[in-house]
Amino acid sequence: MIETLILMAIGAVAGVMAGLLGIGGGLIVVPALAFWLPATGIPADVALHAAIATSLASISVTAAASAWAHHRRGGVDARALAWLTPGLILGSGGGALVVAGISRSSLTVFVASFCLLAAWQIARPR
């Protein structure tokens, strides 16, 4: 029961931050799951990889629903989508292959650096 509540809270915070700040939910979900998963018995050496995979799976569901809603309102540029799709498919597949071969420590540095860069992009004066 407590696990369900924790996951729902992580999802809610990610959703609010995405809606409020326009940031991707993965920026909240990945660090939260990476911190929480080892407490559930997931080995620490695979927790970050599992957090990334779980975040991507959850984002896929919300992205599909959001894309459909935008499509129904005529907001999707079909031509741009057609040109973006091959690169997105190849890039996401390639990224998944690369991340599978990256050590936990290297992946931790990469994810933390990305989070800091995202925070700086949001906070920097313009």
Helix (H) / strand (E) containing 109: helix 104-123
Report the predicted TM-score, pTM, of the whole model to 2 decimal places: 0.74
Q: Spell out the residues 6+ positions from residue 108 whose beta carbon is closer than 8 angstroms to its own.
A: 34, 48
Q: Are 25 and 18 in contact (CB under 8 A)?
A: yes
Residue 42: closest CA among 104, 114, 113, 107: 104
The per-residue pLDDT for range 9-34, each reduced to its tens digit, is 988 888 887 777 767 778 889 999 99
State percent of the chain over pLDDT 90: 44
47 touches 30 (CB < 8 A): no
Backbone angles phi, psi at 52, to 5 degrees: -65, -45
